[in-house]
Structure formats: C-alpha cells, structure tokens
Amino acid sequence: MEQLETLSSQIGFAADGSQYLTFTLDQEEYGVEILKVQEIKGYSAITPIPNTPSYIKGVMNLRGTIIPVVDLRSKFSLEEAEYNQFTVIIVVTVGTKVMGLVVDAVSDVLNIPNADLQAPPDFGAQVDIAFIKGMTKAGEKLVILLDLDKVLGGEELVTLGSPN
C-alpha cells in the first residue's frame, strides 16, 4: 500500500501534456492515462468464468461490484509468469465499463509533455499497432503508451458486458 500512497502523492497536473501510470510486463514498460485509472490493488482472488477468452482471468468483487479481470500478459501473447508480491490489478475505466488489468508491477506516474510523445513505428499492414497511442522515453527505457479503448474496446467490451 505504501507504493500506492507514493504514487498518489506524485500526481500533479501536466499543463502541456498528460500523465501516465507506468507498469511492467515481461521487462518492458507500458503506460496508461492516469485519468482512466481508478485504483491499484494488490493481486487478490479472481473467480474464473467458463467459456471466456484465455486473457480474461475471471471476475472479482470490488466493494460490491463484480468486475472482469484481464491479464495483459495473455492479451499481448507474452509468456506466462507466476503472480508474485509485485503483481497488481490496475482498476481502470474503459468507456462505461470498469475492469481490472493484471500487470507484473506498477512503476511510476510520468508527466509526459506533448513534445515528448512519438508515434509508434510503422510495421506495415501485417502488424496491428492500433492499440499503441504513442511512445516516450523514461530514462534509458522506452515506454509504450496504450490506448485502453483500443486494447479493450469493441469485441472485448461485448465479451465483458455486465450480466443482466
């Protein structure tokens, strides 16, 4: 919980840019807009749901609300890893849906000036990079900034729809 308090105290306003919560997946840094993040929770029990895609780990109870949980390692076809004391669930809002994202560890909150944002490289039509909002440098590392609406948009939101 100290990590969450530290991150919360670092949150200020980026006048000429945006703020991103950064996290790691398989040694790489990723970022999501801080305005889409509701909270960061330590990894806790997830109830599996049958007949869902492999990247949907199941659902969890978030203060009386049942929310779907997506493992971003699985979603990005990365090698599976054991969950450990650093594994967290980032609770985000995508469209009108609230969901959890399992990530290896939370890193930092970055203020990224608009001038430091770079477009992702063009890999050609064979590689879908529509979910990448941009890239930036944080020290010596590149940070891949994700567009959550595209990572978890469309088909996933239908799959993760709320029960009636």
Span 11-23, pLDDT tens digits: 444 457 789 999 9
Torsion of CA 147, 152, 155, 157, to 10 degrees: -120
Q: What tokens were used for 152?
A: 């978890």
Q: What percent of the chain has pLDDT over 90?
A: 53
pLDDT along the chain (164 residues), means of 10: 46 67 94 95 92 93 94 92 94 92 94 84 65 86 90 59 44
Q: Any idea where the domains of the chain sit in the sequence?
A: 2-152
pLDDT, one tens digit per residue, over 26-46 is 989 999 999 999 999 999 889
Give all strands of the β-sheet with 56-62 in edge-to-edge order: 37-42, 88-94, 97-103, 65-71, 56-62
pLDDT reported for residue 119: 81
pTM value is 0.81
CA distance 30 to 70: 15
3.40.800.10, 3.40.50.2000, 1.10.10.410, 2.40.50.180: which CATH number matches 2-152?
A: 2.40.50.180
